[in-house]
């Protein structure tokens, strides 16, 4: 009986150890599987993070390329606009030099009924003096301007008197001839006197509010300085002419 009991205890112990070993092995296998799964998940996470990083880098590169492309397009557009502005300014400047005053190209009749055509380019300075024989101040300064004629010629200055008395055919009115010719004969010098054509009527006379009225034009057709409204003495005219000549570049 005691021997049987001992045998039973030994068998129970062996079974228990075997079961314990199985459980231990099973636990070890479970732990290994858990560790493998954890490692796999960790690797997957790492791979995912790496993929995300690469994707972010690609997006960043694409964004940088887009920004760079946008900047290049903006720069190209700016350069194109600047070029157009420069070309427009050059065209405007060229047009201004050719006829800045709007007075270029006029053609009319002189006191002797001969035709006269604008000739700014032949003189350093041209004076256009608008007057009427019915204007006292106008008539007062004409003799002195006639006396100043030789001095103006030496300085390459052309004086043109624009008479407001004219016939329907554009020629100087007979009454104006009767008044002006004796003045120039007495002064011993003459001045170029013309009547206004459409160009002078629209671009010179249209804005005049008082006479005598004088504007100064250089050889390129540019207005020089401010106009003179009212009459001047001979000395004052000489000084004014020198000042205008000094303003021409």
Supply the pLDDT for residue 82.
55
Domain ranges of the chain: 1-99, 107-247
Confidence of residue 91 (pLDDT cuts 50, 70, 90): very low
Confidence of residue 128 (pLDDT cuts 50, 70, 90): very high
Supply the pLDDT for residue 68.
53
Supply the pLDDT for residue 119.
94
Read off the pTM: 0.61
pLDDT score of 33 more than 80: no
Supply the pLDDT for residue 146.
95
Name the one residue in this structure whose structure tokens are 């065209």.
Answer: 91
Quote the CA–CA distance of 216 and 166 in Å, as a whole number.
23
pLDDT score of 85 more than 50: yes
Quote the CA–CA distance of 249 and 240 in Å, as a whole number.
17
Which of 83-87, 135-139, 176-180, 229-233 is predicted with the least confidence, judged by mean pLDDT?
83-87
HSE at residue 40, side-chain half, CA atoms within 13 A, is: 6
CATH topology for 107-247 is Glutaredoxin (3.40.30)
Name the one residue in this structure whose structure tokens are 């003096």.
Answer: 129
Give the bridge partners for 192, in sequence order.
Answer: 160
Confidence of residue 62 (pLDDT cuts 50, 70, 90): low
In sequence order, the 6+-apart residues with CB closer than 8 A to the CB of 112 are none
pLDDT score of 61 more than 60: no
Question: What percentage of the chain exceeds 70 in pLDDT?
Answer: 59
Q: What is the mean pLDDT of residues 116-125?
A: 96
Quote the CA–CA distance of 111 and 195 in Å, as a whole number.
8
Confidence of residue 102 (pLDDT cuts 50, 70, 90): confident
Which of 22-31, 63-72, 198-207 is predicted with the least confidence, judged by mean pLDDT?
22-31
Q: What is the mean pLDDT of residues 109-113?
A: 96
Which of 29-33, 64-68, 115-119, 240-244 is predicted with the least confidence, judged by mean pLDDT?
29-33
């Amino acid at each position: 009986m005691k021997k049987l009991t001992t045998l039973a205890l030994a068998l129970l112990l062996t079974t228990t150890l075997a079961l314990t070993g199985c459980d231990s092995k099973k636990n070890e296998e479970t732990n290994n599987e858990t560790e493998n799964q954890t490692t796999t998940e960790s690797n997957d996470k790492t791979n995912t993070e790496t993929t995300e990083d690469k994707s972010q880098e690609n997006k960043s590169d694409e964004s940088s390329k887009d920004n760079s492309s946008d900047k290049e397009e903006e720069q190209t557009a700016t350069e194109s606009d600047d070029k157009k502005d420069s070309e427009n300014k050059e065209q405007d400047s060229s047009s201004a030099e050719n006829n800045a005053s709007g007075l270029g190209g006029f053609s009319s009749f002189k006191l002797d009924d001969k035709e006269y055509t604008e000739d700014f380019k032949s003189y350093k300075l041209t004076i256009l003096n608008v007057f009427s024989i019915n204007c006292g101040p106008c008539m007062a300064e004409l003799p002195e301007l006639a006396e100043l004629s030789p001095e103006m010629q030496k300085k390459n200055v052309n004086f043109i008197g624009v008479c407001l008395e004219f016939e329907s055919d554009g020629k100087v009115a007979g009454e104006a001839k009767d008044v002006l010719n004796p003045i120039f004969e007495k002064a011993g010098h003459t001045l170029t006197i013309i009547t206004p054509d459409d160009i002078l009527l629209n671009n010179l006379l249209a804005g005049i509010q008082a006479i005598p009225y004088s504007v100064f034009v250089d050889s390129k057709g540019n207005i020089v300085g401010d106009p003179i409204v009212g009459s001047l003495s001979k000395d004052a005219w000489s000084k004014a002419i020198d000042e205008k000549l000094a303003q021409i570049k």
